[in-house]
Structure 1
Amino acid sequence: MRPGPAGQTSRSSGRPLTERGRRTLLRTGDGVLVDAHHDPGPDTRTGAGGPLAIVVAHGFTGDLERPHVRRAVRVFAQRAGVITFSFRGHGASGGRSTVGDREVLDLAAAVDWARRLGYERVVTVGFSMGGSVVLRHAASGGTGRDPGHEGRTGARLDAVVAVSAPARWYYRGTAPMRRLHWMVTRPAGRLVGRYGFRTRIHHEDWDPVPLSPVESVPLIAPTPLLIVHGDQDPYFPLDHPRTLAAAGRGEAALWLEQGMGHAEHAASDELLDRISAWCSDRCVQAA
């Protein structure tokens, strides 16, 4: 989650959306229309399990047309089909951002579309706010409804990857996060979000407060889970990924990336390729 122009420090080598693929509007479980795009990628097969799709969940203030998102698509599409979408309140999607709460319904719609397109194996990869969303989505069994502490995953997912994700809500321990909270909670901040960063933010507080990322992690097993975080992340220090990995009780993999900053724009092509290779390998092992 970051209150800055998504991908401003990244140079893109991604393909334009019009080159190939299919764009559509998906209707979420609560009736919001979400802008989505499918890039078929190569004719990739994960063993006997059939084709693989990677569903990408961007960070706060991003959308599916941002250069850093398109760059991730280009890398991921070398191994799999890729579904990208803009969270509610972002880009051409309807509604207003709830900064990680109702966004699980947006991701659920995108995963369902991947299944309807014929993909037999589906992996979710989320960045920052999107990282918290993929964790909650997997814990919910793919429904977007918090299961509570007694819940157990029934998610139709083959693996989950959270990059630069927070471990807990309401974190204000860094200056960038204090600025983000100002943008989300203050009327003037929401105006800055709307006109400065093209992000429409809901004015209501969470009610109830959704299950936190760290509370979600224990509910994801046995689905393979990868936590990726940069040691130079200016938003969330290293106690966040370590807390998430510890909550996995030995079931979650943790990659701490030297010199990496925050989320999509800080993820190198090499890292993105390693992530997609990990996803593919997990699906082969499960086949």
Structure 2
Amino acid sequence: MSSVSEGRFPGSSVPSITRAPRRTTLLTGDGVRIEAVYTPCTAGSRGSGGSDSGGTAIVLAHGFTGSADRPAVRRAAGVFAQRAAVITFSFRGHGKSGGRSTVGDREVLDLAAAVAWARSLGHRRVVTVGFSMGGSVVIRHAALYTAPETGEGVAEEARVPGAERVGRRISAREGRMGAHADAVVAVSAPARWYYRGTAPMRRVHWVITRPAGRFVGRYGFGTRIHREDWNPVPLSPVEAVPLITAPFLIVHGDRDPYFPVDHPRMLAGAAGDRAELWLEHGMGHAENAADEDLLTRIADWTESV
């Protein structure tokens, strides 16, 4: 699966912030159409998250085989909407979006399109929250897209060892177009690629890499998966973490059947004192395991940083 140019950022047919939930189609930098849903803050104009204030928007990135309309994603969006406006979207190859899933590589472009849409709607502050595969995407996105006042993103490959594997260099002009996140939350994210240490992940790799598995993915899980291998292999989450300049929260369950707790500990170790780690007792994996209490605490954290 080859990384490609981010190209231009998308516009939107939605001219301004509106209280009614709105669906739209975003065009990514490489020309893939992505379905997206905007949900205004249900708290009205209260606090910085009120939809009328142009304050915070949370962009929610689902896990592999998820979509904007999956019940767990809608439940999380409903909790987050009590604090801020929320944008949900379906990654390429998922739901009603076009293209094929590259399982965390080009999906950075999908997230960038959603973040840019949030800013085009008037939101001054955007927080990305990703689950599982979406967690790896928000990490890589935060490494690629930095706020204009903090730098120019990966403006020169020479600045970052292995930068060619992040996706593509981000120019100063593109960085100013508003695709950066102001804070980042990764829930149940892997630290490294090609992990097969658990039975669920061995099944995931079978779905991704085998023709019969991709058939099951398409017709059993509604996920269209790209058949090509990554070329080049993108920077892994643990390699991307040191490039993150925004406030960063890592959330992981101690009963995650996919990625054991050495994954969040590796991420936290790579971040040093620039990240916060929550190891949740009894929690399983990703959005399906995130209960209302945890989602509310995550939403509170996004307000506090």
1:191-225 per-position Cα deviation (integer Å, ceiling 9, x unaligned): 0000000000000000000010001110002x100
Match of 1:149 in 2: 161
2:3 corresponds to which residue?
A: none
Q: CA distance change for structure 1 residues 172 and 181 in 2, over 3 Å: closer, same or farther?
A: same
**Aligned-residue offset at 1:141:** 1.4
1:184 aligns with 2:208: yes
Which residue of structure 1 lines up, in the alignment, with residue 48 of structure 2? Answer: 46
Matched, 1:274 2:286: no
Q: Determine the structure 1 residue equivalent to 2:66.
A: 62
Match of 1:27 in 2: 27
Q: Distance in 2 between matches of 1:65 and 1:226?
A: 25
Do residues 86 (structure 1) and 110 (structure 2) align?
A: no
Q: Deviation digits for residues 124-172 of structure 1, max 9, x if unmatched?
A: 0000000000000000016998964376996732100000000000000
Inter-partner Cα distance in structure 2 for 1:156 and 1:63 = 22
The runs of 5 or more residues in structure 2 that have no matched partner are: 1-18, 147-151, 164-168
More displaced, 145-154 or 226-235?
Answer: 145-154
Q: Is the 8 A contact 1:137 1:144 kept in 2?
A: no
Candidates 249, 258, 263, aligned match of 1:226: 249
Residue of 118, 126, 140 corresponding to 2:122:
118
TM-score, normalised relative to structure 2: 0.82
Structure 1 residues 83 and 91, CA, compared in 2 at 3 Å: closer, same or farther?
A: same
What is the CA-CA distance between 1:45 and the residue it aligns to?
3.4
Distance 2:218 2:35 in 1: 18
Alignment check: 8 A CA contact 1:105 1:144 kept: no
Task: Give the Å deviation of 1:39.
Answer: 0.2
**What is aligned with 1:255?**
278
CA distance in 1, matches of 2:46, 2:144: 28
Which residue of 237, 242, 250 corresponds with 2:265? Answer: 242
SS in structure 2 opposite 1:274? helix
Q: How far is the alpha carbon of 1:249 from its aligned partner?
A: 1.6
Distance 1:69 1:201, change over 3 A: same
Give the letter for the 1:208 counterpart. Answer: P
Query: In the alignment, does 2:157 pair up with 1:133?
Result: no
Query: In structure 2, how many angstroms separate the alpha carbons of the residues matched to 1:156 and 1:39?
Result: 20
**CA 1:44–1:90: 2 relative to 1, 3 Å:** farther
Q: Is the 8 A contact 2:162 2:235 kept in 1?
A: no
1:189-200 mapped onto 2 (5 Å cutoff): 189-200=213-224
How much does 1:20 deviate?
3.7
* Deviation, structure 1 residue 58: 0.1
Q: CA separation in 2, counterparts of 1:177 and 1:89?
A: 20
Partner residue of 2:229?
Answer: 205
Partner amino acid, structure 2, of 1:268? D
Relative distance call for 1:197 and 1:145 in structure 2 (3 A) is: farther
1:101 to partner: Cα distance: 0.3
Once residues 32 and 145 of structure 1 are traced to their aligned partners in structure 2, the CA distance between those partners, rounded to angstroms, is 23
Q: Is the 8 A contact 2:54 2:122 kept in 1?
A: no
> How many corresponding residue pairs?
262
Contact 1:108 1:144 in 2 (8 A): no
Residue type of the partner of 2:37?
Answer: H
The one-letter amino acid paired with 2:55 is P
- Tell me if the contact between 2:187 and 2:252 (Cα under 8 Å) persists in the aligned partners: yes
C-alpha contact (below 8 Å) 1:136/1:144 kept by paired residues: no
**Identical counterparts, % of pairs:** 69
Gaps of 5+ in 1: 1-18, 283-287
**Alpha-carbon spacing, 1:212–1:193, altered in 2? closer, same or farther (3 Å):** same
Deviation of 1:44 (Å):
4.4
Could you say what secondary structure the match of 2:272 adopts?
A: coil
